[in-house]
Amino acid sequence: MSISLAALEEIIDTSGIAPRIETLLPIGVRRRQLRVRALPAGMMLSQADQRPAHLTRVRDALTCLPGPDQVRPGVLEDWKAGPHQLTYRQTERTFGLVTDALAKDVPDGLPSPALARICDDLLEASIPGQFKGASTSLAVDWTDAETFSRPPSRGSSDCAGPEASRGHRSGGGPGQDSELFFGYYASAGTMMREEHGPPAPELARRMTVSSCHHDPARALVPVLTAMPEDGIPLGDILADSGYAHRDAGAWAIPLRGAGAHLVQDLHPLDRGPRGTREGAITANGNLYCPATPRTLPELGPLARDATPGQVSAHDQQSAERTTSSPPSWPATSSAGSPATTPTATTGSCAPPPWARSAARSARRP
């Protein structure tokens, strides 16, 4: 994949991150040859060329540009002795100043508010204007990001990646559920098509990185809930069962408060009887009843080849049953089920809310 320097500079200028970072850097006697505007451009160029994420590769990506493209960002400048090309020492100097300015005073494995804001603005600027309103639905997930650093030796805590920690990822061997790795968890929210909506490009709209000591689901919450403050409404949030088995106050309630609608698989530990007669379950503060009463056959699962008319009728019946439970079918037992939030959508054992979400269209062939 190749991308022009001009396109990257447009993204950086649109985000406005360069002047904001420059104001945080100390003022030296000599002007730095590598300015902040050129540093993220070099980082993105190196990644677009699938180079390793090394600082030396950033300088290589900048010094390999055509002559005019080197002059504009200051990679090649006229000195008294003649043209001077950017050195690795100068690249390292600017990079060190930027990382120090955006780091926390006491590192804890999470990005500082200033760094998180800069990453959000940079990602948002990378989305073309015609697609910014294409969809409000996001598919979220996290993955392992192994660090270049080796783990600290036994009995010590010093290593080249002091904020990295050991975490679990999917195992690669037969019958191996998980394996240990040393690094971080990288989370992303990717745009996806809304139900009955036009096709939308699957662009990463928000990302964050956290140490494996932190729950990646909880680390992503403040990133997502900050989007409505920027005028970006939240719609469906699609997630797998790894996001379901959480304290409601840490994941579900903040996102619902920000206007999001959760569409996620249930965690195996959330399945089974939870205080009702029909096998209801409590997940993320909501009551779900996958076992539909035999007296309500019209609320059974839809066929995979259901017509749009059948889907609309099923949604209407589900909404009616949500607001009025049949008197002959108690929602909870005398055993004292966990309290549910006022936003519980399936307290009357209607089908789970994914039946009316973007997930349904994504799962059909």
Provide the pLDDT confidence category of residue 350 given band limits of 50, 70 and 90: very low
Percent of the chain with pLDDT over 70: 75
Q: How many domains does the chain have?
A: 3
Provide the pLDDT confidence category of residue 234 given band limits of 50, 70 and 90: very high
Q: What pLDDT shows up at residue 289?
A: 57
> What value does the mean pLDDT take over residues 356-365?
41
Residues 341 and 275 in one domain: yes
What's the CA gap between 194 and 336, in Å, rounded?
A: 38
> What value does the mean pLDDT take over residues 80-98?
93
Q: Which of 288, 278, 350, 285 is nearest to 315 (CA)?
A: 350
Q: Which of 303, 275, 302 is nearest to 289 (CA)?
A: 275
Residues 87 and 199 in one domain: no
Q: What pLDDT shows up at residue 304?
A: 74
Task: Please state, rounded to an integer, the average pLDDT across all residues of the chain.
Answer: 80
Provide the pLDDT confidence category of residue 318 given band limits of 50, 70 and 90: low
Of 224, 243, 263, which residue constitutes the final position of a domain?
263
Residues 27 and 85 in one domain: yes
Residues 256 and 277 in one domain: no
Residues 227 and 295 in one domain: no
Identity of the residue numbered 106: V
Give buried/exposed letters for 153-185 (b at 16+ CB in 10 A, else e): eeeeeeeebebbbebebeeeeeeeeeeebbbbb
Residues 312 and 220 in one domain: no
Range with the lowest mean pLDDT among 92-101, 177-186, 207-216? 177-186
Q: What pLDDT shows up at residue 271?
A: 52
Report if residue 159 sits inside a domain.
no
Provide the pLDDT confidence category of residue 240 given band limits of 50, 70 and 90: confident
Q: Please identify which residue in the block is written with the tokens 């409601």.
A: 248
Residues 308 and 212 in one domain: no
What's the CA gap between 166 and 188, in Å, rounded?
A: 20
Domain range for 86 is 5-102
Check: CB of residue 62 under 8 Å from CB of residue 86. yes
pTM of the model: 0.72
Q: Give the rounded distance of the alpha carbon of 239 from its chain centre.
A: 10
Residues 34 and 125 in one domain: no
Q: What are the pLDDT digits (tens) for 321-346? A: 544 444 333 333 333 333 333 333 33
Residues 290 and 337 in one domain: yes
Q: What are the pLDDT digits (tens) for 33-55? A: 999 999 999 999 998 888 888 89
Provide the pLDDT confidence category of residue 183 given band limits of 50, 70 and 90: very high
Check: CB of residue 289 under 8 Å from CB of residue 350. yes
Q: What are the pLDDT digits (tens) for 125-182? A: 999 999 999 999 999 999 999 998 888 888 777 888 888 999 988 877 777 778 889 9
Q: With a cut of 90, say whether residue 220 has pLDDT above it.
A: yes
Provide the pLDDT confidence category of residue 313 given band limits of 50, 70 and 90: confident
Q: What pLDDT shows up at residue 128?
A: 93
Residues 230 and 141 in one domain: yes
What's the CA gap between 162 and 151, in Å, rounded?
A: 9
What CATH number is associated with residue 256?
3.30.420
Q: What pLDDT shows up at residue 23?
A: 93
Q: What are the pLDDT digits (tens) for 252-307? A: 889 999 999 988 877 665 554 444 444 555 555 566 655 544 445 555 567 778 88
